[in-house]
Amino acid sequence: MRDETVKLALPAAGDATERPISIAIVAMGGQGGGVLTDWIVQLAENHGWVAQSTSVPGVAQRTGATIYYIEAMPPLDGRKPILSLMPTPGDVDVVMAAEFMEAGRSILRGLVTPDRTTLIASNHRTFAIGEKIAPGNGIADKGAVTGAIGIAAKTEIIFDMNALAIANGSVISAAMFGALAGAGVLSFSHDSYLDVIRAGDKGAQASIRAFEAAYDRVQSKAPEPVTPVQSETAKTPPAPAALDPRLAGLAARLTQELPDAAHAIGRAGLKKVVDFQDVAYGGEYLDILGKLHAADRSAGGAARNFAFTGAAAKYLANAMTYDDVIRVADLKTRSGRRARIEGDLELSAGQVLQTTEFMHPRMEEVMGMLPAGFARWLGAKPGLLGWLDRRVNKGRRVRTYSLPWFVALYVVGGLRGIRRRSLRHAIETAHRDEWVKSATEAVRTNYQLGVEVLQCRRLVKGYSDTHSRGLSKFDKTLAAIKLVAPREDAADWARRLREAALKDSAGKELDGVIQTIKSFA
Amino acid sequence: MAERSFAREVEDLRLGDGDTFRGEGILAITKALLQSGVAYVGGYQGSPISHLMDVLADAKDVLDDLGVVFQSSANEAAAAAMLSASVMYPLRGAVAWKSTVGTNVASDALANLASGGVTGGTMIIVGEDYGEGSSIMQERTHAFAMKSQIWLLDPRPDHECIVNLIEKGFELSEVSNTPVMLEVRVRACHMHGSFACKDNVKPAHTIKDALNNPKRDVGRIVLPPAAYEHEQEKIKTRMPAAINFVRDNRLNEWMGPKQGKVGIIMQGGMYNNVIRALQYLGLSDAYGNTQIPLYVMNVTYPVIDTEVAEFCLDKDAVLIVEEGQPEYLEQAINTVLRRRDIQARVHGKDVLPMGGDYTAQVLLGGVREFLEKTDPRLLGNRPPAPDATAVLSHPEVEKLKQVVPARPPGLCTGCPERPIFAAMKLVESELGEHHVSADIGCHLFSILPPFNIGATTMGFGLGPASTSAFNVKADKRSIAVMGDGGFWHNGLTSGIGNAVFNKHDGVFVIVDNYYTSATGGQDILSSRAVSKRRNTNNSIVQAVKGIGGQWVRQIDRTYDVGRMRDTLKEALTTKEQGPKVIVASSECMLNKQRRVKPQISKAIKDGVRTVKERFGVDEDVCTGDHACIRLSGCPSLSVKQLDDPLRDDPVAAIDNSCVGCGNCGEVAEAAVLCPSFYRADVIHNPTGWDKFKSKVAMAVIGWLQRRRDRRRPALEALA
């Protein structure tokens, strides 16, 4: 820049620095951002201001992320202000985000800056498709947004406006309008906001309730009501007396044989296992867990707070409670299940509920239930098997709470007695033992690797094709782990393998990592 | 029935002298047409023009009072051809569409119209879908205006200015016997603003008058020798007439001081953002009181040479603010100045980006660079301009870049197109990937996750035509997807007819959801709604058979994923020759909900037995693999983290926005996914028999459940 330019003082042309109030509403299509926009425009116009709003309907509105933009300013002796059609990074007074990641997006667009922006955001999540389709846990980290807000926003008003709106029988736009009023960034009175809502016909009452609730929430700065999270550690171990006598023994064993670190998770596991089969099965669970804990101790687990035993308690329980037909039928016919659905639907008296299950049993599932020997004999008869499969293998609409269907499910759900002798149980047990064995071997030489091997159990899930895909990923991963086992960084590779396997369903990422491993191992 | 009802907006069309219109730009434009005394209006919907079409469709009474003929045209070409009514008769007419895509389709008719010229004023309203939020290729309508010599209006984004320019535009069209285009950008169309209304004007000459007194003049028809005369007319008569009118009526605007070392020349549409940029530089106030001379071209074609020369004469340099490429205006203005040997230096795309939105931020940079090069004193001591870079470069914000997920548009909750693509996914897993040509419409979302289906899209209704090269014997067949909108727009002939005629052995899926849904749910020939003013309920299947299609399958419930999958498989494998056409029909859920929701709640209120369906997931049965989501992507099918120490991954969950379309269950069943989905049917106002049945069943069921619960060890105490 040339020297002369800095020294020259240039008188500002009129109120050059006085700019209109600018409000950006970032939302997803169908979130009522349009309604909110119209309200704000109306509000400004009611005060004699010139207000301009723009938006981009069309395909962007079909659940995609979109921006509504408003500018408003009083006219100057009859002259209208010239208003911009798009927000300018660093020059937005209020950003209203109808979803938490959208708040994050607005920060990335530079709309939120510490010198001027009040950020009004609902911290509830509507997951993007990318977060939902991951076979593992693809949910984005809210913390990152919270962190960035602290940096970017001048003032922040963050709470679950969606929940508040629903609680008041309304939609998020009303709550956000209330939050805007509460924030007091605009020089308009509380009542003038209400006038705008009242002018609109539909659902004005509900909107006003949500508006007021949000307004008070902001004004009083009341902390967000935290719903008590039931963390397993929060629960105190039960007094044995209160326990079912058949369980008391197991509970006692658990506390004696396992380190404190593994008690809570162990109890959860024990509960799941017994619930799946019976008390004896719970004993079996503790037996295996005991052996694994012994390996843990001799591998110096004490120094590591027995992470190995903890992981074992968790994943062994999952391995022992495989999803077979009996389990599904049992879960579907429980009393608690119907109660839960009635709760979700807020069923009122005088309404009748019926549910339909979409089941598609194949001969594989039936074989799984049969005694192992007989099932294997049957398996050797492809002709007969095919004939049977053609009769079994079709989609079935099961009317859960019609007597015939319920009784059928109830009977299947009660087949625990034959489960231990079933083919599925034989297969699962063999697979489980193999996995336990390799974990035990691993932990001897490389503690963390042992833990990782246990955690690979996470890969086995789903039904039918999904299940077999999971199994093959599991086997591939364990095979690959064997290749790197001798290395120092074996555990890191194991973790990498598992994480890759959870990224895409086809397992392309996993194969990639395996290739890398083969390149050096 | 359109996605939105415009009953209220229609009332705005009745406003008259002394009233103030407050509302969307596109509606202001609609009102301006009526104030200009149009005799007929046509067009084709598409953002940002849809609302214009929807309002007029709902405004029958208003139009009838004025004697205005309104038609939603079959496509943009039909709309453009409609303007031929103004060739011989003094009828004012207007048509509207999304541009440049619509203008592409219309260009043949437009070229013929512009060649012969018009008697009555004709206006083409083009919604310039350029820049952020656009759904089409990034091009300029400007080229069409120049090549056919159609005057191009680009008004400042201000209702008053737009309305005035429409009224003047019709006069311009008449004095120069040339059609006029009004270009409005997306945000200007959806911009809320106000203007002082005038009374609507009945057309002086009506369509009926014209029909009763036919006129012809072979000299207006594009055929040699007339065609050559038209070109000479364009150059010698029409262009000068237009230039004089634009100049005499001051359609272009001078702003700011008369004198100045430098000045800015801009398209009218750029004005607001230029002012904002100048404000950031301390060179204008919020009310447009600028310290730099501005020449605002509300007419960007033709360029008024004398005005440009006058503006540049005493200046060292001018900046040309012209959005998009190529830089037609910059080139034209350079020619003007060189011919007259005016020394003002011309800046433009050298300091401003060649492509993309000219936002206030972009213009701030460009104008600042221009002034630094030409007249730095103006920048004075440089007031601080808005700047977010400090925040954006902060590590916390950098980290956020990796976290915030993309949120592409997708199919709505309960969309009937979802099961079609779920079925295609299932077929893909059996028969392998195929070459799929996509088309324009909601179904184009199939190219995005989770479906990732579709290789190309070549324009509205051209999905089938774009597979025409793949007409050879091979192990696999090509698949083309096309919507009902595209089918009637041109796909029947360009796609199906073409395939029949050339014996194309491919598969053609026609997605029939009863409306042109992507553009806002307008009615078309095959819409199922009975309309008094239009002829609907014309079967696509009949049309396909009528044009010679032999292998045609109608699927009346797209949600039947199993049937959908089997039909696709049959189409891909059958020995039969020629095109395999599958018409998959179910109503657009967005429109259906608008239609049935009130009916249902009324029925429930009136005590009528009503069954409400909704889907759910048994969270203890779901293993959190999300395979179901990979075959759906429904907004209401999401995931939730369970409070269970034994679970790592979130399970599937369905929120209360579910409309019970059935897709989840059908997919779980057809794909043999898992048994965790259930459909809950809630019977409102059940009959005595309903109650009795459920009472008896639940009595027995309850007894059985208690029996088993007794045998279970009391686990609650544990953990």
- Mean pLDDT in residue range A449-458: 97
Q: Among all residues of chain B, which has the CA nearest to that of A324? A: B621
Is A83 in Cβ contact with B672 (below 8 Å)?
Answer: no
What pLDDT is recorded for position A234?
43
Write down the pLDDT at residue A63: 63
CB contact under 8 A, B403 and A141: yes
Residues of A in contact with B644 (CB under 8 A): 268
Interchain proximity B679–A150, CB inside 8 Å? no
pLDDT over 90 at A11, yes or no: no
Cβ <8 Å between B668 and A358: yes
Residues of chain B positioned with their CB less than 8 A from the CB of A322 = none
Asked if the Cβ–Cβ distance from B626 to A134 is below 8 Å, we say yes
Q: Report how far apart, in Å, the C-alpha atoms of B571 and of each of A36, A260, A477, B552, B580 are.
A: 48, 63, 39, 9, 6
Which pLDDT belongs to residue B719?
Answer: 54
Identify any residues that bridge with B262 across adjacent strands, giving them in sequence order. B317
Closest residue by Cα to residue B26 from B43, B16, B37: B43
- The alpha-carbon gap from B658 to the nearest alpha carbon of chain A, in Å, equals 12
Distance from CA of B7 to the nearest CA of A (A): 14
Min Cα separation A518/chain B (Å): 28
The beta-carbon neighbor of B404 closest among A29, A104, A360 is A104
Task: Tell me which chain B residues have a C-beta less than 8 angstroms from the C-beta of A317.
Answer: 646
Q: Does B672 touch chain A (CB under 8 A)?
A: yes
A462: DSSP letter: S
Which of A7, A57, A357 lies nearest to residue B678, judging by beta carbons?
A357
Contacts of A113 in chain B (CB under 8 A): 386, 388, 390-391
Q: What is the pLDDT of residue A28?
A: 86
Q: Is B643 helix (H, G, I), strand (E, B) or coil?
A: coil
Name the closest residue on chain A to residue B364, using Cα atoms.
A88
- Give me chain B's average pLDDT, please: 95
For the stretch A60-89, pLDDT in tens is: 556 678 899 999 999 988 899 999 999 999
* Cross-chain residue pair B719–A152, CB shorter than 8 Å: no
Residues above pLDDT 90, as percent of chain A: 79
For strand B253-255 and strand B294-297, is the pairing parallel, antiparallel, or unpaired?
antiparallel
Query: For the whole prediction, is pTM greater than 0.90?
Result: yes
Q: Is pLDDT at B389 greater than 60 in this prediction?
A: yes
- Give pLDDT tens digits for B399-416: 999 999 998 888 999 999
* Residue entry with tokens 């656009």: B134
Mean pLDDT of A3-26: 61
Which of B541, B544, B464, B549 minimizes the C-alpha distance to B508?
B464
B261-319 per-position pLDDT tens digit: 999 999 999 999 999 999 999 999 999 999 999 999 999 999 999 999 999 999 999 99
Nearest to B718 among A38, A231, A270 (CB): A270
Helix axes B688-711, A403-413, angle to 10 degrees: 10
Contact (CB, 8 A) for B7 and B58:
yes
Residue B718 to residue A247, Cβ atoms within 8 A = yes
| Per-residue pLDDT at A512 exceeds 90 | yes
The pLDDT assigned to A15 comes to 41
- Taking alpha carbons only, the member of B645, B676, B629, B671 closest to residue A139 is B629
Q: What percent of chain A has pLDDT over 70?
A: 91
Dump pLDDT digits (tens) for B17-38.
Answer: 999 999 999 999 999 999 999 9
Burial group, residue B455, by CB count within 10 angstroms (0-12, 13-18, 19+): middle
Please give the interface size between A and B, counted as residue pairs whose CB atoms are below 8 Å apart. 454
What is the average pLDDT across B510-522?
91
Note whether B433 contacts A: Cβ–Cβ < 8 A: no
Residue A202 has pLDDT above 80, yes or no: no
Question: What is the pLDDT confidence band of residue A503, given thresholds at 50, 70 and 90?
Answer: confident
Enumerate the residues of chain A whose CB falls inside 8 A of the CB of residue B388: 89-90, 110-111, 113
The pLDDT value recorded for residue A235 is 46
Residue B203: is the preceding peptide bond cis (ω within 30°)? no
User: How far, in Å, CA of B365 to CA of B396, rounded?
Assistant: 27
CA-based radius of gyration for chain B: 30
Interface probe with A: pick from B26, B272, B626, most Cβ of A within 10 Å = B626
Give me chain A's average pLDDT, please.
90
CA distance B2 to B61: 17
Q: What is the pLDDT of residue A12?
A: 44
A3 falls in which pLDDT band (50, 70, 90)?
very low
Q: With an 8 Å Cβ cutoff, is B662 touching chain A?
A: no
What's the pLDDT at B382? 78
Q: pLDDT (tens digit, 9 = 90+) per residue, B104-139?
A: 999 999 999 999 999 999 999 999 999 988 889 999
User: Mean pLDDT, to the nearest integer, of B467-483?
Assistant: 97
Q: Please, is A129 exposed, middle or buried when counting C-beta atoms within 10 Å of its C-beta (0-12, 13-18, 19+)?
A: buried
Which tens digits make up the pLDDT trace of A179-190? 999 999 999 999
Look at A137 and B188 and tell me if their CB atoms are within 8 Å. no
